[in-house]
Amino acid sequence: MKAIAGNGETRAMPELEPVLSRRVTVLGATGSIGVSTLSVIVNARAVYGQHVLPIAALTAQSNVAQLAEQARAMKPEIAVIGDPARYGELRDALAGTGIEVAAGREAVIAAGARPSEFVMVAIVGAAAIEPALAAIRRGATVALANKECVVAAGAVFRAALDGSSATVVPVDSEHNAIFQVLNGGDASQVERVTLTASGGPFREWTLEKMRDVTPEQAVAHPNWSMGKKNSLDSASLMNKGLELIEAHYLFALPDEKLDVVVHPQSIIHCMVTYGDGTTLAHLSAPDMRTPIAHAIGYPVRIASPSRKLDLAHMGPLSFFAPDSQRFPCLDLAMGCLRSGGLAPTILNAANEIAVEAFLDRRIGFLDIPRVVESALETGEAKLSNTPPADLETVLSADGEARRWADVACRSLSA
Ligand code: NAD
Ligand code: MG
Q: What is the rounded distance in angstroms from the CA atom of residue 112 to the CA atom of residue 142?
A: 10
- Over the stretch 232-249, which tens digit does the pLDDT of each residue have? 999 999 999 999 999 999
54 Cβ inside 6 Å of ligand 1: no
Ligand 1 centre distance from Cα of residue 241 (Å): 18
Question: For residue 389, what pLDDT is reported?
Answer: 74
CB contact at 8 A, 343 and 379: yes
Q: What is the rounded distance in angstroms from the CA atom of residue 103 to the CA atom of residue 226?
A: 26
Q: How far is CA 306 from CA 38, 222, 292, 298, in A?
A: 13, 18, 10, 16
Ligand 2 centre distance from Cα of residue 301 (Å): 21
Out of 121, 123, 351, give the residue to mutate to test ligand 1, the one with the largest number of ligand atoms within 8 Å of its CB: 123
Percentage of the chain with pLDDT > 90? 90
Q: Which amino acid is at 359?
A: L
Average pLDDT over residues 77-94: 98
Query: What string of H, E and C letters represents the secondary structure of the chain?
Result: CEEECCCCCEEECHHHHHHHCCCEEEECCCCHHHHHHHHHHHHHHHHHCCCCCCEEEEEECCCHHHHHHHHHHHCCCEEEECCHHHHHHHHHHCCCCCCEEEECHHHHHHHHHCCCCEEEECCCCHHHHHHHHHHHHCCCEEEECCCHHHHHCHHHHHHHHHCCCCEEEECCHHHHHHHHHHCCCCHHHEEEEEEEECCCCCCCCCHHHHCCCCHHHHCCCCCCCCCHHHHHHHHHCHHHHHHHHHHHHHHCCCHHHEEEEECCCCCEEEEEEECCCCEEEEECCCCCHHHHHHHHHCCCCCCCCCCCCCHHHCCCCCCECCCCCCCCHHHHHHHHHHHCCCHHHHHHHHHHHHHHHHHCCCCCCCHHHHHHHHHHHHHHHHHCCCCCCCHHHHHHHHHHHHHHHHHHHHHHHC
Which atom of ligand 1 is nearest the CA belonging to 228?
2
Ligand 2 centre distance from Cα of residue 172 (Å): 5
Ligand 2 centre distance from Cα of residue 291 (Å): 10
Ligand nearest to the CA of 144: 1
288 Cβ inside 6 Å of ligand 1: yes
Query: What b/e string do you get for 209-238 counting C-beta neighbours within 10 Å, with b at 16 or more?
Result: ebeebebeebbebebbebbbbbbbbbbbbb
Ligand 2 centre distance from Cα of residue 269 (Å): 8
174 Cβ inside 6 Å of ligand 1: no
Average pLDDT over residues 222-227: 84
| Other beta carbons within 10 Å of 188 | 9
Q: Which of 4-8, 220-224, 305-309 holds the top average pLDDT?
A: 305-309
Which atom of ligand 1 is nearest the CA belonging to 60?
11
- Over the stretch 363-377, which tens digit does the pLDDT of each residue have? 999 999 999 999 999
- Over the stretch 302-344, which tens digit does the pLDDT of each residue have? 999 999 999 998 889 999 999 999 999 999 999 999 999 999 9
Which residues 6+ apart lie within 8 Å of 260 measured at CB? Answer: 194, 195, 196, 197, 240, 244, 322, 330
**pLDDT exceeds cutoff 70 at 385:** no
- Over the stretch 268-311, which tens digit does the pLDDT of each residue have? 999 999 999 999 999 999 999 999 999 999 999 999 999 999 99
Ligand 2 centre distance from Cα of residue 296 (Å): 18
Which atom of ligand 1 is nearest the CA belonging to 32?
26
Ligand nearest to the CA of 200: 2
121 Cβ inside 6 Å of ligand 1: no
Q: Which domains does the chain have, with CATH numbers?
A: 2-171 (3.40.50.720)
Q: What is the rounded distance in angstroms from the CA atom of residue 10 to the CA atom of residue 5?
A: 6
Question: For residue 245, what pLDDT is reported?
Answer: 98
2 or 258, higher pLDDT: 258
108 Cβ inside 6 Å of ligand 1: yes
